[in-house]
Structures are given as structure tokens and as C-alpha cells.
Chain A
């Protein structure tokens, strides 16, 4: 496999607590990889280390062969933060138009992205008047504007209705088919089944790294929630 993201012995300490303790991970290029784990397991910290916004205590993180956070990666990696990081007092279109100018794409691309994230009807609505799910989609739109090679999404489907969630996941797979590498975090296990590959994170360590089918057969369960429990029990036994 070609790794788009490669993490070696990553250690991160936050507020005196070791959040990630020597983590190793390879994320395959051109696939949708899921980063699953309960709240507090270190998903966001790992994601921030990959996009280069986290101060790390040790280890190596490389993205597309370059050290995470490298200057030239700023055009090649798209990042969607967990809380929608867009301007509440601007409209959907104004937000995307601003980020578009910074990453250097044109107005036609902005219009396509507004359509793509299903906000055409809300184009001129001020973000503060949008629902949580709609805000998340503005934030997602900002991350995909310049069609980055690597897309790192921190819980992009929180609070979305099931139809929209399905649409977004099929969009993620479309992007992967056209060559984009996606790393998508979630704390909802039923989303895991939609990923090509799953990384289960618990208390700062990787519990499993496999395809969903593999995980089910290895644990002898027929649902990923059960599989997760089984792995936790094996780990502590």
C-alpha cells in the first residue's frame, strides 16, 4: 500500500496528561479511512498532529512524504475542524468566497462547492442563522475548495440527518475514487461500516487497524459496536 500519511511513535501531552502514547499509523492513499473511538480517545489530537497544528512531544508525522505542517502542504491538505470554523456573521457564500481567495480558486468553484455540500438554497444566509448540521457543511465546503490531495475531517457528520449523512459518505467515496486520501473521524460506530479501512482508537492507543469485514471476522461478531467491545475486553483480559 502507498501511505499518504505515516505516523511513527507519536507522543502528545496535553495539560500534563499523555494523550497519545507512541502511536504508529499508516493511512492508505486514495481510500476513505475511518478514525473511530469514544470521545476523549485522542482522535482530535491525532488529527491536529497530522495537519500540523498540534505541538507534539515526540515521534514523526509525515504527510505526502513531507513533515506534517510543512509550508507546501498548506495547499495540499484540507482540514475540517470539529467545531465549524467559519465566520458566523458572514453568509455561506461570503465565507467560502473568502477561503477561496486564500487558497486561490475562482468564483465558479465556490458555486460548485455550495451545490456540492447541499447549501444552494442557503447561499446568502448568514451562518449564525443556520442549523448545526448546515454550519458543519459550510466548514466542510471550505475544506474541499481547492480539491486537496489529503482531506482530514474531524467528525464531519455530527448532527446530520441520515439521508444527508449517506450522501456525504458517498461523496467521500467519490473523492477517494478520484484519488483523494480521506481520514474521517467519528464516534458513531455505525459510520465505521462505510469506511474502506478502520482505525480504532482508545485511550491514546490504537486498538485495531483493519477493514470492517476483517474486524468482524476477527472478533466473531456481526456488528462493529460489538467488535469494539470485544477488542477492549481482550485488551484488558
Chain B
């Protein structure tokens, strides 16, 4: 691995994003608007807002980075730039880590701004440090990036890639515990939800918000999120083929 190639890739990805101010605006404004919407929705039930608000802050980066990465990677594949890169002295890891750093940086900005709105304007509270929520949000963003990178290999067109959102993301949002606590689900749904990375991302955020004594369960969540990220990155690296049919 080379720091030069990795750094160059991070810089390149950030430059590409900068050329697209509308996407940047959407990345920041949409989550803020949605958190506000949820706040208004539960205006008469502030306890519910407290319960779902913080996990929402930390899950947005996962969803947005998943989408941004699947489309960006798909473009690299279809435009021929990936084929060119793979004929150059560039390790696959340079490319992957370069992407991860760029998107983690964007996610940090996104999560900070949404947190400012949530904690500052909408009176969300957490028993642990607010920085912990932001750190979890960034970790989730890298998870989203890794999943997007892997799944982009299975999309031929941008239409297909966008369909991964309802096909892959929505079921996880439904089952992660955000809408209905997992203990109240049918047993088979609990099993399905146990197989989904969102479940652990959600649980970690929920514990960070409400559990003043972060124990083994919290760290197990963090470990799963980290482990799935590494696993998805490895699978993603496997889909970057130097030789193609």
C-alpha cells in the first residue's frame, strides 16, 4: 500500500464531490429536514422523539454513503477509469482506503451538522458524549461505503443501483429496532434482523443515547459494525478484477 496513491485517491474523490454542490447540499440538508420532520411528527410524544432521534442522526450517513458509493463505483466501472487504474501501479487497498477516508470525512461533516441541529435546536439529549454519537455516525458511514462498494458490483446500470435502496436498505430500517423494538417482533423476524448490520448500528446508537453504563453489549455492537465493514471491504476488493471477460 502507498500513502501517496491513497491520499491522491481521497483528494480526487473529494474534488469530484466538490464539483457537485447539489449533492453536497442534499447530503446535509435532507437529514436535517428529516430530523426536523420526525421532531414535528412526535411533537406530542417527546419521549418517542428522544428514542428515535439519536439513532436517526447516526444512521443517515450509512444510507447516504451507501448510495453515493454505489453510484460512484458503478461510474468507475462503466467509464473505464477502474480498468485504467487497475493497469497502473495502484493496489486495490489504496483505492478502497482512499475512498473510505474521503467518505468518512464527508460523513463527519454531515453528522456534525445534523447533530448540531438535533442537539442544539431540537433538544435531543444523550447520556454519553455527543462526540460518541458523531464517531458512531462516521463508523456507520464507512460501513455504508463498504456495503455500497460491494453491492455496486451487482448493478449494471444506475437504475439498478438506486433500486438497492428499497431492496437492501429499507428492510434493514424496518427491522433494526427503530420502528418496533426487536423483542416485540415475531421470532423469525428477530432472527432475520440479527443477520442485518443495521441492527447493530442502531443498537450501538441507541445505547450511546440512553445507557450511561456502556458495557459489553455496546462494544459487541461496535465490533460487529467494524467486522462487517472489513468483511464487506474484502468482498468489495474481490469484485475489483484486474482481468475481466
Would B83 and A74 count as touching, CB distance under 8 A? no
Would B242 and A53 count as touching, CB distance under 8 A? yes
Would A74 and B88 count as touching, CB distance under 8 A? yes
| B1-54 residues at the A interface, CB under 8 angstroms | 4-5, 7-9, 11-12, 15-16, 19-20
Chain B residues near A101 (CB-CB < 8 A): 4-5, 7-8
Residue of B nearest to A142 (CB): B84
Would B20 and A102 count as touching, CB distance under 8 A? no
Asked if B132 lies at the interface with its beta carbon under 8 angstroms from chain A, I say no
Would B12 and A87 count as touching, CB distance under 8 A? yes
Would B88 and A102 count as touching, CB distance under 8 A? yes
| A87-141 residues at the B interface, CB under 8 angstroms | 87-90, 94, 98-99, 101-104, 126
Residue of B nearest to A86 (CB): B81
> Contact flags (1/0) for B227-239 with A, using CB distance below 8 Å?
0000000000000
A83 touching B79 in the complex, CB below 8 Å, given contacts A75-B89, A98-B8, A102-B5: yes
Q: How many A-B residue pairs have CB under 8 A?
A: 76
Min CB gap B91→A, angstroms: 10
Min CB gap B40→A, angstroms: 36
Min CB gap B132→A, angstroms: 35
Min CB gap B34→A, angstroms: 27
Asked if A166 lies at the interface with its beta carbon under 8 angstroms from chain B, I say no
Asked if A14 lies at the interface with its beta carbon under 8 angstroms from chain B, I say yes
> Contact flags (1/0) for A1-44 with B, using CB distance below 8 Å?
00000000000001100000000000000000000000000000
Asked if A52 lies at the interface with its beta carbon under 8 angstroms from chain B, I say yes
Chain A residues near B87 (CB-CB < 8 A): 51-53, 74, 77, 79
Would B81 and A87 count as touching, CB distance under 8 A? yes
> Contact flags (1/0) for A34-73 with B, using CB distance below 8 Å?
0000000000000000011111000000000000010000
Chain B residues near A102 (CB-CB < 8 A): 5, 8, 85, 88-90
Min CB gap A199→B, angstroms: 21
**Interface residue count on the A side (C-beta < 8 Å):** 30
Asked if A85 lies at the interface with its beta carbon under 8 angstroms from chain B, I say yes
Asked if B86 lies at the interface with its beta carbon under 8 angstroms from chain A, I say yes
Chain B residues near A142 (CB-CB < 8 A): 84
How long is the Cα–Cα vector from A36 to B7 in the complex, in angstroms? 40
How long is the Cα–Cα vector from A126 to B16 in the complex, in angstroms? 10
Would B84 and A94 count as touching, CB distance under 8 A? no
Chain B residues near A85 (CB-CB < 8 A): 79-81, 83-84
Residue of B nearest to A143 (CB): B84
Would A54 and B8 count as touching, CB distance under 8 A? no
Chain B residues near A75 (CB-CB < 8 A): 89
Interface centre among B12, B86, B244 (most CB of A within 10 A): B12
Would A90 and B242 count as touching, CB distance under 8 A? no
Asked if A181 lies at the interface with its beta carbon under 8 angstroms from chain B, I say no
Asked if B245 lies at the interface with its beta carbon under 8 angstroms from chain A, I say yes
Residue of B nearest to A73 (CB): B87
Asked if A157 lies at the interface with its beta carbon under 8 angstroms from chain B, I say no
Residue of A nearest to B17 (CB): A89
Chain B residues near A87 (CB-CB < 8 A): 12, 16, 79, 81
Would A104 and B80 count as touching, CB distance under 8 A? no
Would A69 and B245 count as touching, CB distance under 8 A? no
Residue of B nearest to A94 (CB): B15
Would B81 and A52 count as touching, CB distance under 8 A? no
Would A94 and B12 count as touching, CB distance under 8 A? yes
Min CB gap A29→B, angstroms: 20
Min CB gap B13→A, angstroms: 10
How long is the Cα–Cα vector from A178 to B16 in the complex, in angstroms? 36
Residue of B nearest to A99 (CB): B88
Contacts A52-B243, A98-B12, A99-B84 known; 17 new A-B pairs at CB < 8 A: A51-B87, A55-B243, A74-B88, A77-B87, A79-B84, A81-B83, A81-B84, A85-B81, A86-B81, A89-B16, A90-B15, A94-B12, A94-B15, A98-B11, A99-B88, A104-B89, A126-B19
Chain A interface (Cβ < 8 Å from any Cβ of B):
14-15, 51-55, 69, 74-75, 77, 79, 81, 83-90, 94, 98-99, 101-104, 126, 142
Q: Which 3 A-B pairs have the closest CB atoms?
A: A85-B80, A101-B8, A85-B84
Q: 8 A-B Cβ contacts within 8 A?
A: A14-B245, A52-B242, A52-B243, A54-B243, A55-B244, A77-B87, A81-B80, A102-B90
